[in-house]
Amino acid sequence: MQVLKTIVWAVIVAGLAVFAYANWFRIDVMIWSDVVLNTPLPMIILSSFLLGFAPMWLFHRAARWRLKRRIGALESSQRSLIAAREQELEEDRSRFVPEEERPTLP
């Protein structure tokens, strides 16, 4: 599976490199009326992609962090509930079964 993933990424990078090479001409980007930026087209496309990708990536990382913390808290709560329930069951068994009749584990 890792080989397939590597091949897919290699094809994507090669396609982007061919696109960048074929479209490497400079364009004028007017930021304000008196500020004009003369930059290659692939740089404009890359910066636009990163401006859209970065906030979504940060949101995704924050959501994963929040969910991992929540899962950890729930697992901890579950462990403590299981331990309390086992202790309660052991107390119930000791109340109803005399000590000498209790089975022992090898």
- Residue type for 27, please? I
Distance CA 69, CA 93 (A): 36
pLDDT at 51: 95
Tokens of 37: 């930026």
Residue 104 in tokens: 């022992």
Q: What pLDDT, in 10s, does the model give residues 38-79?
A: 999 999 999 999 999 999 999 999 999 999 999 999 999 999
pTM over 0.85: no
Indicate the DSSP class of residue 100: G
| CA terminus-to-terminus distance, the chain | 45
Is 70 exceeded by the pLDDT of residue 2? yes
